[in-house]
């Protein structure tokens, strides 16, 4: 047999070996894929543990209930985006992330909206967050919870949506005042803010003093000055006074019996 014939035979042997190796690899790959599919569909992947993280205002059971997650259902049969959308409907939920942790756990990570102020409207108390999103309504409130905002005229309000007020500019100023007040810890001394009077936002402190802020065009200056004034009054045990801050560069503190508007 010539060299050409031997080369032809060797080539055929090499092709057969290559085909056998490819077939073996394909079989192994199919076996792995089949095994993986079987494992993913098996009871081992059924939901056993639900972990909720980051929640303070909304309890775990409430979050699980609106998520539509069911124990002992395969975790890969859930659409995580749909679960996130279900949970995000809750007024207190600002952000949500859902992920699987093999073999049998789903983790729900929550970012909540925080109660920032309470609006009195027609005998009801409307809790809002820093972005003026309506979180809940109640028939009562505890005075130490959050600052009460009064004097707001509404267009409408809906849970989970930003509040719409007729005097929305004044509401915006109040939220600016509250942001500064929170930063310098003066909120603990304020019980109420009234925006019912045009161009004159009024505050009431827990010791009965009244603060006239006018148009409140400079929230940072007003709150820093007020913090100093209230601290001085507290150290001198002076209560129930009128603090007039309506005029730039001029602040007066007078007793109610000597006050003339």
Domain end call among 71, 89, 112: 112
> So what's the pLDDT on residue 217?
86
pLDDT at residue number 114 = 93
SS3 state of residue 140: coil
Average pLDDT over residues 142-166: 85
Cβ neighbours of residue 21 closer than 8 Å, sequence gap 6 or more: none
Which structural domain range is residue 104 located in? 44-112
Count: domains in the chain: 3
Name the residue with higher pLDDT: 59 or 16.
59
User: 27 with 123, same domain?
Assistant: no
What pLDDT does residue 196 have? 87
pLDDT of residue 156: 79
pLDDT digits (tens, 9 = 90+) for 7-54: 555 656 666 666 667 766 666 666 555 545 555 565 778 899 999 999
Summarize pLDDT for 77-108 with one digit per residue, the tens.
Answer: 899 999 999 999 999 999 999 999 988 999 99
Question: Is pLDDT at 255 greater than 90 in this prediction?
Answer: no
Of 107, 82, 85, 103, residue with least CA distance to 95? 85
State if pTM tops 0.75.
Answer: yes
Q: What are phi and psi of 178, to 5 degrees?
A: -65, -35
Residue 211 maps to which CATH number? 3.40.50.10960
59-83 mean pLDDT: 93
Asked if 100 and 190 sit in the same domain, the reply is: no
Residues 124, 232 within the same domain: yes
Helices (H) and strands (E) in the chain, counts: 5, 14
User: What proportion of the chain, given as a percentage, has pLDDT over 90?
Assistant: 55
* Residue 258 contacts residue 241 (beta carbons within 8 Å): no
| Same domain as 249, residue 197 | yes
Cβ atoms of 184 and 223 within 8 Å: the answer is: yes
Concatenated DSSP letters of 234-261? HHTT--SEEEEEEETTEEEEEEGGG---
Residue 106 sits in the same domain as residue 138: no
Tell me: the pLDDT tens digits for 197-215? 878 899 999 989 999 999 9
pLDDT confidence of residue 194: 94
Confidence of residue 5 (pLDDT cuts 50, 70, 90): low
The rounded percent of the chain whose pLDDT value lies above 70 is 82
Q: What is the pLDDT of residue 85?
A: 96
Is the CB of residue 115 less than 8 Å from the CB of residue 142? Answer: no
- Of 112, 130, 158, the position where a domain reaches its end is 112
CATH number for the domain including 96?
3.10.20.310
Lowest model confidence (mean pLDDT) among 64-73, 161-170, 184-193, 226-235:
161-170
Shared domain for 37 and 78, answered yes or no, is no
DSSP H helical ranges for the chain: 3-41, 60-67, 80-88, 168-183, 219-235
Band (221; pLDDT cuts 50, 70, 90): very high
State the pLDDT at residue 16. Answer: 66
């Amino acid at each position: 047999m010539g060299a050409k014939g031997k080369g032809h035979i060797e080539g055929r042997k090499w092709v057969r070996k290559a085909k056998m190796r490819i077939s073996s690899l394909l079989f192994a790959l199919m076996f792995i894929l089949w095994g993986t599919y079987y494992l993913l569909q098996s009871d081992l992947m059924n939901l056993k543990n639900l972990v909720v993280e980051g929640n303070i205002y909304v309890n775990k059971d409430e979050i699980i209930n609106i998520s539509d997650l069911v124990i002992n259902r395969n975790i890969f049969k859930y659409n995580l985006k749909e679960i996130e959308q279900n949970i995000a409907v809750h007024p207190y939920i600002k952000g949500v992330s859902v992920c699987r942790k093999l073999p049998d756990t789903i983790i729900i990570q929550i970012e909540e909206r925080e109660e920032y102020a309470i609006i009195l409207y027609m005998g009801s108390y409307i809790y809002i967050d820093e972005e003026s999103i309506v979180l809940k309504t109640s028939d009562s409130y505890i005075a130490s919870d959050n600052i009460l905002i009064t004097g707001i005229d509404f267009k409408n309000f809906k849970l989970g949506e930003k509040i719409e007020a007729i005097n929305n500019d004044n509401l915006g100023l109040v939220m600016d005042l509250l942001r500064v007040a929170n930063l310098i810890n003066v909120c603990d001394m304020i019980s109420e803010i009234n925006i019912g009077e045009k161009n004159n936002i009024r505050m009431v402190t827990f010791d009965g003093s009244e603060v006239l802020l006018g148009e409140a065009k400079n929230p940072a200056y007003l709150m820093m000055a007020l913090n100093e004034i209230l601290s001085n009054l507290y150290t001198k045990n002076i209560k129930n006074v009128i603090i007039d801050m309506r005029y730039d560069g001029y602040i007066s503190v007078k007793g109610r019996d000597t006050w003339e508007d």
